[in-house]
Amino acid sequence: MKQRRRRIYPIEENCMGCRLCEVACATEHSAFKDPLVAFFEELPQSFTTVEVDRHISFSLSCRHCDEPYCVEACITGAMHQEQDGRVLVYEELCIGCFMCVASCPWGAVNPKRTEKKAAKCDLCPDREIPACVAACPNRALVYDVAQELTYRIEEEEEPFVEG
Amino acid sequence: MLYKSVFTYPQFEVERDYEKCIVCGCCVQQCTYDATLFLPYKRKVVNDNLKCVGCKRCEALCPTGAIRINRVQNEFKENAYWTSRTIRDIYKQADQGGAILTGGGNDRQFRVYWDHLLIDACQVTNPSIDPLREPMELRTFLGRKPDEIKVEFNDKGEPELKTEIAPNLVAEVPIIFAPMSYGALNLNMHRAMAAAAVAMGTYWNTGEGGLHRDLYPYGHRTIVQVASGRFGVSAEYLNVAAAVEIKIGQGAKPGIGGHLPGEKVDEEISKTRMIPVGTDALSPAPHHDIYSIEDLRQLIYAIKEATNYEKPVSVKIAAVHNVAAIASGIARAGADIIVLDGFRGGTGASPAIIRDYVGIPVEIAVAVVDQRLRDEGIRNWVSIIAAGGIRNSADVVKAIALGADAVYIGTAALMAVGCTLCQKCYTGRCAWGITTNDPYIANRLNPEIAAERLTNLLRGWAHEIKEMLGLMGINAIESLRGNRLRLRAVGLTKEEMEILGVLPAGAGL
């Protein structure tokens, strides 16, 4: 099996819904990497979303699935799975059809706010550990080597039909 | 802000720098007192200063540093006699007619005796010891020590100990986590204290709320409490622990009981405390089976009988005026450890007036109890634990020099995991997730992080204590116990120094 890069795991019991991961992500993916500039001068976009439902919350970002639906759905090959398991968008190939956005069962792929392209978690290539993990004050995000992650969706819930 | 009494004035004001506020919503979500509001149409976060309790949770978590909590300076017209707090309390009571509740420890301006005691150091003639080069012993044995040691030589000429040694607790550092019950604190904090106690080779105390079953594996480092409510007491509970403590009184509220509101008693707490879900957990003020030293002796021996005489039994009392005589009685009743809880001790909920004005300082209590027991020749029967307001390692050293064997830290332990002493423990909405049982707020306290922080605190203090022992030329903490000659007093009256048994600064031997 190919060498797998580490994944970000949310831990529900530790998440307190503070949304600092969102701020960190948006800041990391901004031009100046400063939260004030990012939020006041640019269009900040976070690739992780904190889902809160009363007593449960967790930070949801791209799972970098072993068999990603978004890669399967992409018609131009812009959505690509790397050798190390990361799922990345090659923006020069992306035509903004957003099939990936529709196909992702987690809602982790979203239209880019600034242009008509898909945008998603890239596991922070410039950092040793992703910004969201570093920013979490309660260790509710763990950056760890993955066990195999193959999500299967029940037939009736299948969000798209292949072909 | 709209529907309030005429007599409500904000105590804190939230200064929000809108140049820096990025409207991330962190503070809105983190404020458990509903003092922070998000206005969706204006995309703006605003504050209701009236509800702010000054816990500083939002200030700590704001990613851009846009928030600052300020004390309202001109709360009321300045008056040296009628302080803001007095005025506020009168307004509150006139409004609602209840006792003013509070949490945390006594914050009034009483003399802090620790700050009037200075530690001795070695110079030329008696060299100090470098703790980094030479072994330094912090191991403390807590429990009854024999009056004499009988040694006999066997056939091979080897010495054999003939005296039966009573069970003792062995703490690698003389600092133990104070009793704080499950119910007042949540399980995450209990997990953290248990893990830190195991990591540092010391003990933690369950408080009166029983021991959760998940924590039974930590039993060998747990002191379990039997209090007036008898919550969660069973044969298994007593036997899983390292020692059993009978709680007679608590420093923050000597002579009064406890009350855990029914809303806080959820499924897990109900199982642990052995009471129905949603019922108030009332601890009576006295133990209804203890009205004399003889009655106390019966309970101590009932517990010893139940635990097969394998565990030391401790008795915790609040430091009150007649503490020396009471302690002598407790020692004679068969206790192995006496815990003296001073008036600075904290609590989850207590009437403010009792927390502030009942009891005596632990410094005095330790000194008089140690002296009394020594005078009576029974000091070796019991170990003394000082509790209530131990702030740093110097306080630990001073407490031990005044005659304690070990100390309890409660408030300091809570501060290590985030507590900002906002004194709102009794609301059950602790924004730091410590004194709340709301599962969603409680998960702010990650037991793993909290255990690391508690371990770090103890490790830091242990280093400092070793340094202080070294500079006194002592290489074991046991040599310091009751060694009041290593303390000198500044700014105390003659009577105070006599009671403390400490010489004034400048007095040689």
Residue type, A9: Y
Q: What percent of chain A has pLDDT over 90?
A: 60
Count of alpha carbons within 13 angstroms of residue B247, beta-carbon side:
34
Count of alpha carbons within 13 angstroms of residue B468, beta-carbon side:
24
pLDDT digits (tens, 9 = 90+) for B414-424: 999 999 999 99
- Looking at the complex, does the CB of residue A17 fall below 8 Å from at least one CB of chain B? yes
In order of B21, B75, B88, B286, the CA distances from B95 in angstroms are 36, 18, 11, 31
- Looking at the complex, does the CB of residue B44 fall below 8 Å from at least one CB of chain A? no
pLDDT digits (tens, 9 = 90+) for B167-182: 999 999 999 999 999 9
Asked if B425 and B348 count as a contact pair (C-beta separation under 8 A), the reply is yes
Question: How far is the C-alpha of B187 from the C-alpha of B213, rounded, in Å?
Answer: 11
Beta strands in B398-456 (DSSP E): 406-409
pLDDT at A4 over 80: no
Asked if B143 and B164 count as a contact pair (C-beta separation under 8 A), the reply is no
The number of angstroms, rounded, from the C-alpha of B395 to the middle of its chain's C-alpha atoms is 13
Q: What percent of chain B has pLDDT over 90?
A: 90
Asked if B219 and B191 count as a contact pair (C-beta separation under 8 A), the reply is no
* Residue B508: predicted pLDDT: 85
Residue B230, judged by CB atoms within 10 A of its CB (0-12, 13-18, 19+), counts as middle
Question: How far is the C-alpha of B61 from the C-alpha of B420, rounded, in Å?
Answer: 13
* Mean pLDDT on B332-352: 94
- Looking at the complex, does the CB of residue B28 fall below 8 Å from at least one CB of chain A? no
In order of B22, B341, B496, the CA distances from B368 in angstroms are 58, 13, 11
pTM, to two decimals: 0.92
pLDDT digits (tens, 9 = 90+) for A49-61: 998 887 889 999 9
Is A35 close to B29, i.e. CB distance below 8 A? no
H or E stretch covering B253: none
> Mutate which of B443, B445, B448, B453 to test chain A, going by most A C-beta atoms within 10 A?
B443
pLDDT digits (tens, 9 = 90+) for A122-131: 999 989 899 9
Rg of chain A taking only CA atoms, in angstroms? 16
- Looking at the complex, does the CB of residue B64 fall below 8 Å from at least one CB of chain A? yes
pLDDT at B329 over 90: yes
The neighbouring-strand residues paired with B140 are: B171
pLDDT at A161 over 80: no
Whole-number mean pLDDT of chain B? 94
- Cβ-Cβ contacts under 8 Å, B56 against chain A: none
Question: How far is the C-alpha of B504 from the C-alpha of B60, rounded, in Å?
Answer: 43
Count of alpha carbons within 13 angstroms of residue B380, beta-carbon side:
8
First CA to last CA distance, chain A: 28
Asked if B349 and B183 count as a contact pair (C-beta separation under 8 A), the reply is no
pLDDT at A163 over 70: no
- Looking at the complex, does the CB of residue B440 fall below 8 Å from at least one CB of chain A? yes
Model confidence at B491, in pLDDT bands (50, 70, 90)? very high
pLDDT at A1 over 50: no
Q: What are the contacts of A106-111 at 24+ separation with CB within 8 A? A: A106/A60, A106/A62, A106/A63, A107/A49, A107/A60, A108/A47, A108/A60, A108/A61, A108/A62, A108/A63, A109/A62, A109/A70, A109/A79, A110/A45, A110/A47
CB pairs under 8 A between A and B: 59
* Residue B477: predicted pLDDT: 95
pLDDT digits (tens, 9 = 90+) for B356-397: 999 999 999 999 999 999 999 999 999 999 999 999 999 999
The neighbouring-strand residues paired with B37 are: B46
pLDDT at A160 over 60: no
pLDDT digits (tens, 9 = 90+) for B49-100: 999 999 999 999 999 999 999 999 888 999 999 999 999 999 999 988 999 9
pLDDT digits (tens, 9 = 90+) for B465-479: 999 999 999 999 999
* Residue A54: predicted pLDDT: 78
Model confidence at A149, in pLDDT bands (50, 70, 90)? low
- Cβ-Cβ contacts under 8 Å, B30 against chain A: 16, 18
Question: How far is the C-alpha of B75 from the C-alpha of B87, rounded, in Å?
Answer: 10
Q: Which residue of B has its CA nearest to A135?
A: B63
**Which single residue is written with the structure tokens 């019966």?**
B298
Question: How far is the C-alpha of B345 from the C-alpha of B347, rounded, in Å?
Answer: 7
Question: How far is the C-alpha of A94 from the C-alpha of B343, rounded, in Å?
Answer: 69
> Mutate which of A32, A36, A56 to test chain B, going by most B C-beta atoms within 10 A?
A36
Q: Which residue in the set A15, A24, A138 is minimally distant from B449, CB to CB?
A: A138
**Which single residue is written with the structure tokens 């299948």?**
A158
